[in-house]
Structure 1
Amino acid sequence: MENVLACIDASSYAASVCDLAAWASRRLELPVELLHVVQRKDAVAERHDLSGAIGFGVKSSLLEELTQLEEADARLQVERGRVLIAACTERLKAAGAVDVKPLHRHGGIVEAILEREAEARVVVIGKRGASREFAQDHLGSKVERVVRASNRPILIASCAIETPRVVVLAYDGSQAAGRALERCANSPLFRGLPVQIVSAGADDDKHRVLLADARSKLEGRDVTTTLRQGKAEEVIANVVEATPGAILVMGAYGHSPLRTLIVGSTTTAMIRTVHVPVLLMR
């Protein structure tokens, strides 16, 4: 059965993920699978064990102590996860989610998400993970890994959200942008919402035809278009900022990871800088 896969951790993004997942659940009329993953840790590595530099007897004693600490920490992480899932389940139900299925897993976060997305219509994750306080200006590394590897639309929650009321569609004519346009046109997620199509480039025939073609695929909808010259990430961010209740919809990572490493990525820049939900289509 299809669902909305909501992925939570101990970060302050958990509440936003729940609110956004509940919104998606209501509009898609699908239940929510609430996923929390306890990551496996190496006690020796975590505690920077230096016992190899001292005697064997002392080393054995330290390793035994580290094992006990690891076991205690694992139990604590499981209990924290149980409390987090319970609180998020209540929040989802209070927000009108169709149904909620809690799921607690151990292992790798990215691997667990990719496994569970097989039944997901959309995957909802926070912009940053539990260590976000140490990287305020960076996108969570696991978020980018999920987006690059996933076959599903990824809905990324900002730290605080309001209910989406306007779709801002970033459109450049690429295949990924075309899939984003198709989603805007046909998905119940955006039914009845006005759409603002925004493109960065010169005000010439090429870009006017591009926007006109995109607009034609949203016939019968409340559609406006914006064409501005400048860097795509700046143009899109300015339109989003000026649009109350916006949700940004765009294609994701149109270039290879190597090219992205060299020249940067509009996708990463948009997720990092805008303060609204972002739906990414591969």
Structure 2
Amino acid sequence: MNQVIACIDGIGESAECICDAASWASLRLEAPLTLLHVLDKSQYPTETNLTGSIGLGARETLLEELAALDEQRGKLAREQGRLMLDAARERAVDDGIAEPQTLQRHGDLVDTLSELEADTRLLVFGRGGAGGALGHQVEAVIRALHRPMLVLPDAFTPPQRFLIAYDGSPTARKAVEMVTRSPLLQGIPCDLLIVGPSTHDVKMELKHAHEQLQQAGFEVNAEILAGDVEQTLLGEVDKRGAELLVMGAYGHSRIRQMLVGSTTSKLIKQTRVPLLLLR
């Protein structure tokens, strides 16, 4: 479990953002960087079966021509992926990565990432949603993997301040513990926020997490705020100038899956800053 994996699934600013964020994390963690492109087998199958797709009497040559077109389409997509990886590797080198590795796979994204999970320290990818190939698979990726993930909007700036969304749950406690043990955010000031009722138990939970972070050397401001969870957190990110939002991701129980981990899902869709999800 030692490499940063960046999913390069497009071109232009989105891919540059993913590459820059992954390079930053690789340098902070002193971990190797692998740039990954997965060619979706559902869009680009290795074999094309057109039997039954054309009415009775269709000529065999037409089927062969259509199969050849699909094969050519797949070759062009693989070549485009290689070009994207080459451009990403050059950008990573410019960002200070000495020997970024590239990997291209043809298959299912979730299956591919699951195969690489044992050697993944941090997964970096864009949230998509505006035509990005990864957009419709974001939640599937998050649910399938048990590794820290950095989910990016359309821009990345190395954070000078970050905000931890805390709720006292076991997942949130584990997230705080991971922050304290990792070099990724060491030396960066943070805000630790609970959105909810200010009861004695909640105050004790916040106090414990605050002390953990302080003992690990973090400069921490801890508060309990009232209001709608998602909107309050998003508003505080802007208000405090945080450039990264950190939280524990939703769990994997059947009930959690049916509820779609509402807070996590909403923040992924709405946040204007990168979201670091910790298990």
TM-score, normalised with respect to structure 1:
0.88
Deviation (angstroms), 1:203: 2.6
Distance 2:31 2:200 in 1: 42
Q: For residue 112 of structure 2, what is the aligned residue in structure 1?
A: 112
Deviation (angstroms), 1:15: 1.3
Q: Which amino acid aligns with 1:169?
A: I
Structure 1, unmatched stretches of 5+, are 134-138
Pairing partner for 1:229 from 226, 229, 233: 226
What secondary structure does 1:226 align onto?
A: strand
Distance 2:44 2:66 in 1: 6
RMSD across aligned positions (CA): 2.5
Q: Against the structure 1 CA distance between its residues 167 and 173, is the aligned structure 2 distance closer, same or farther, given a 3 Å change threshold?
A: same
Equivalent residue runs for 1:110-259 within 5 Å: 110-128=110-128, 131-132=131-132, 140-219=135-214, 220-254=217-251, 256=253, 258-259=255-256
Distance 2:26 2:256 in 1: 36
**8 A Cα contact 2:3 2:31, kept in partner:** yes
Equivalent residue runs for 1:3-42 within 5 Å: 3-10=3-10, 12-41=13-42
Distance 1:113 1:255 in 2: 17
**8 A Cα contact 1:31 1:98, kept in partner:** no
**8 A Cα contact 1:32 1:98, kept in partner:** no
Identity %: 38
Distance 1:178 1:279 in 2: 15
Q: Against the structure 1 CA distance between its residues 99 and 142, is the aligned structure 2 distance closer, same or farther, given a 3 Å change threshold?
A: same
**8 A Cα contact 1:10 1:84, kept in partner:** yes
Structure 2, unmatched stretches of 5+, are none
Q: For residue 262 of structure 2, what is the aligned residue in structure 1?
A: 265
Deviation (angstroms), 1:215: 0.4
**8 A Cα contact 2:250 2:256, kept in partner:** no
What secondary structure does 2:197 align onto?
A: coil
**8 A Cα contact 2:143 2:251, kept in partner:** no
Distance 2:98 2:159 in 1: 18
Q: For residue 93 of structure 1, what is the aligned residue in structure 2?
A: 93
1:276 aligned onto 2:277: no
Distance 2:248 2:137 in 1: 18
Distance 1:82 1:129 in 2: 23
Q: Against the structure 1 CA distance between its residues 257 and 93, is the aligned structure 2 distance closer, same or farther, given a 3 Å change threshold?
A: farther
What secondary structure does 2:184 align onto?
A: helix
What secondary structure does 1:156 align onto?
A: strand
**8 A Cα contact 1:7 1:113, kept in partner:** no
Q: Which amino acid aligns with 1:25?
A: S
**8 A Cα contact 2:163 2:242, kept in partner:** no
**8 A Cα contact 1:5 1:117, kept in partner:** no
**8 A Cα contact 1:10 1:130, kept in partner:** no
Q: Deviations over 1:74-106 (max 9, x none)?
A: 110111011100100011111112430111111
TM-score, normalised with respect to structure 2:
0.89
1:63 aligned onto 2:63: yes
